[in-house]
Amino acid sequence: MKKTTIDDVAAKAGVSKGTVSAVINEKNTVAAMTRNAVLKAMNELHYQPRGNARMSKKSTAEYSIGLLIREIENPFYTGIALGVMEFANSKGYLVTIASSEGSHDLEEKLSQHFTRKNVKGAIIAPVLDGTAEIHHLFGLKTTNFPFVLLERIKGIQANVVSIDNIKSMKTAMKYLFDHGHSKIVHFAGPKHAAHAFERIDGFNRAFSESRHVYRSDMIVMTGAHYDQGFQKCLEYFDGRNPENYPTAIVCYNDLVALGVMAALAQLEIGVPDQISVIGNDNIPFVRNGPIPLTTIEAPMHELGVRAAEILIRNIESPKQLPFENVLLEAQLIVRKSTRTL
């Protein structure tokens, strides 16, 4: 299979090699119509710019892949990173890690930075921001920059490795229903995360498939960090009559759950005697605390390994491969933060 060159792109677009180079390097000297023609030609010819050219296995040690996460302090991404590094290093790749910290603009800048450096592809935990994330990722697709998403985004075809958040949330809810709980509140994740809405969906479906009554005020938009869980919990219980307390709180992740338990302790509300708490992810330090946390264990390491495997397979393939959508299952780990009513 003949490798597409910059000359092929220039000929197809009807421009000079210098113009193609200017488009690749994102210079503002090219008219919009000409730029679109060049990008179209690159896409149709599956052209890979030299800085991101597919490489032979003999030279993989010289290159790296990128991992673009959403929250640097979240141990969930640490687990993923370890899986990515384990597989990538076994194939001779280094891993460059960056964090968008929930900022779509920063995510876009970092991913563009990856494409300009000797980074062959990226694994991305995308930030949701209206339709902006679709345009941004289409830009990566246009230049044939290989990437794998850690969350599915409607409207874009891409390689995805994710967790079945709907099923795992329904499993946690069934556990609570089976143990006598019906007054349950979900401290939901940030609006820029698809996982947050998938878990809300699982929460809603669990109620719709049960005999229990769902109310919209059972969803409390919170965030992804310890401080957000702590503060939102204080706000939620401020002035609330104990008769209206929920009997259980299911949290977006373990960091939020730890913040919630700290706030409940400050309010002198017992866990699990008065309120049961469930987290999500099973990060290491929730296992042996004063109250070991019941949580949904996410296969973080496997998530990283599978994403790296798919990405490197696409980097090293001489032709475009079919998209893969891998959905991993999580399991509920029951500890002392929950009880039977």
Extract the tokens encoding 139: 């830009």
**Euclidean distance between CA atoms 215 and 244, whole angstroms:** 13
| pLDDT higher than 50, residue 113 | yes
Q: Which helix (H) or strand (E) holds 314?
A: helix 300-316
**Euclidean distance between CA atoms 279 and 253, whole angstroms:** 5
Q: How far is CA 320 from CA 28, 42, 153, 277, 332, in A?
A: 30, 13, 21, 46, 38
| pLDDT higher than 90, residue 52 | no
Percentage of residues in the chain having pLDDT higher than 70: 93
| pLDDT higher than 60, residue 137 | yes
| pLDDT higher than 90, residue 170 | yes
Do residues 245 and 275 make contact, with C-beta atoms less than 8 angstroms apart?
Answer: yes
State residue 56's pLDDT score: 41
Contacts of 16 (CB under 8 A, 6+ apart): 10
Higher pLDDT, 9 or 276: 276
Do residues 104 and 192 make contact, with C-beta atoms less than 8 angstroms apart?
Answer: yes
Largest CA distance in the chain: 75
Higher pLDDT, 200 or 319: 200
**Euclidean distance between CA atoms 203 and 218, whole angstroms:** 9
Question: In the block, which residue shows the tokens 């005999």?
Answer: 211
**Euclidean distance between CA atoms 247 and 276, whole angstroms:** 6
Do residues 282 and 254 make contact, with C-beta atoms less than 8 angstroms apart?
Answer: yes
Percentage of residues in the chain having pLDDT higher than 90: 66
**Euclidean distance between CA atoms 43 and 82, whole angstroms:** 33
Do residues 79 and 297 make contact, with C-beta atoms less than 8 angstroms apart?
Answer: no
**pLDDT band per the 50, 70, 90 thresholds, residue 37:** confident
Do the domains 165-299 and 60-162+300-328 match in fold? yes
Mark out the alpha helices in 74-164 (DSSP H runs). 75-90, 104-116, 132-142
State residue 192's pLDDT score: 86
| pLDDT higher than 70, residue 59 | no
- Positive/negative CA dihedral, 132, 134, 138, 141: positive
**Euclidean distance between CA atoms 281 and 61, whole angstroms:** 32
| pLDDT higher than 50, residue 60 | no
Q: Which of 149-158, 266-275, 300-309 is least confident?
A: 149-158
**pLDDT band per the 50, 70, 90 thresholds, residue 62:** low
Q: Where are the beta strands (DSSP E) in 156-303?
A: 159-163, 184-188, 219-221, 248-251, 276-281, 294-297
SS3 147: strand
Extract the tokens encoding 101: 């910290």
**pLDDT band per the 50, 70, 90 thresholds, residue 135:** confident
Pick the most confident of 98-107, 230-239, 283-292.
230-239
| pLDDT higher than 80, residue 232 | yes
Extract the tokens encoding 279: 């987290």
Residue boundaries of the structural domains of the chain: 6-45, 60-162+300-328, 165-299
| pLDDT higher than 50, residue 102 | yes
Extract the tokens encoding 134: 């679709």
Q: Give the β-pairing of 184-188 and 331-333.
A: unpaired
Do residues 176 and 278 make contact, with C-beta atoms less than 8 angstroms apart?
Answer: yes
Q: Which of 71-85, 124-138, 159-173, 178-192 is least confident?
A: 124-138
Nearest Cα to 50, choosing from 61, 31, 63?
A: 63
Average pLDDT score over residue span 31-53:
74
Average pLDDT score over residue span 77-101:
95
Instruction: Please identify, in words, the CATH class of the domain defined by 165-299.
Output: alpha beta
State residue 172's pLDDT score: 98
Higher pLDDT, 133 or 64: 64
| pLDDT higher than 90, residue 156 | no
Q: Indicate the fold that domain 60-162+300-328 takes in CATH.
A: Rossmann fold (3.40.50)
State residue 158's pLDDT score: 93
Do residues 279 and 294 make contact, with C-beta atoms less than 8 angstroms apart?
Answer: yes
SS3 328: strand
Q: Please, what's the b/e burial string for 283-293 (b: 16 or more CB within 10 A of its CB; e: otherwise)?
A: beebeeeebeb
Q: How far is CA 285 from CA 78, 167, 254, 306, in A?
A: 13, 25, 9, 25
